[in-house]
Amino acid sequence: MSYSEDDFIQLSSLQHFVFCPRQCALIHVEQIWAENRLTAEGRIMHDKVHEEGSASKGKMRIERAVPLRSVRLGLSGMADVVEFHRQPDGSWQPFPIEYKRGRAKPDSCDLVQLCAQALCLEEMLSVHIAGGAVFYGKTRRRLDVSFDENLRMQTKKIVLQVHELIDSGFTPKAEYGSKCESCSLNGLCMPKVITKSRSALRYLMERE
């Protein structure tokens, strides 16, 4: 299967979808965006990483703000950093690194986004990529990620789900949860109000 350029989705949409499908639809279907302190800090961190430019260190080359695409998955976006490690046979092995402002999260959204970057690089460069890393700014920890079969399958499944969501043009209903407290769209989505009025309505209907 291959996608035409018009049907490409952004790599960032995968992370938004894993965090909250409604957030994904608000951003990528309804084109709504709002910034809060967390997204602003994340944007500044990415800008800094991208500005540092390319570098070489011994048997390693570092490329920043690398454009990515996959026709097979209908994906496009950018990798913060791709390290290229020189192999004994003279080839260069890519190793993508994603920078995140905070700390490692309980869900797999960062891993899915990184794995999707690796899938794009594999298609673009015709190589196999075994692993990459997520660097967390708050803890200054680098989490090594193995692109095993489970993560690859999960990532491809999410890519399909995001294509379906965006094609449908449908925005799922708000479901209030702890994630809403850190969501920059909270003020526009109003999940507490919507969830409460829906529960009240359901209660009234069940009493009838």
In contact, 80 and 49? CB cutoff 8 Å: yes
Q: Compute the Cα dihedral for 146, 113, 108, 81 and give only its sign.
A: positive
Q: Shortest Cβ distance from residue 206 to ligand SF4 (Å)?
A: 24
32, 188 Cβ separation under 8 angstroms: yes
Site string for ligand SF4, 10-49 (x = CB under 6 A): ----------x-xx--x-----------------------
> How many Å apart are CA 60 and CA 140, to the nearest integer?
21
Residue from 122, 177, 181 nearest 147 by CA: 122
- The nearest distance, CB 198 to ligand SF4, in angstroms, is 12
Q: How many residues sit close enough to ligand SF4 to count as binding (CB under 6 A)?
A: 13
| Contact between 79 and ligand SF4 per CB under 6 A | no
**Interaction residues for ligand SF4, span 188-207 (CB under 6 A):** 189, 191
**Is residue 187 within 8 Å of residue 180, measured between CB atoms?**
no
Q: Considering only residues 123-182, where is the footprint of ligand SF4 by CB under 6 A? A: 174-175, 179-180
Q: Indicate the residue among 153 and 201 with the shorter CB distance to ligand SF4.
A: 201
92, 85 in Cβ contact below 8 A?
A: yes
Enumerate binding residues for ligand SF4 (CB under 6 A). Answer: 20, 22-23, 26, 174-175, 179-180, 183, 185-186, 189, 191
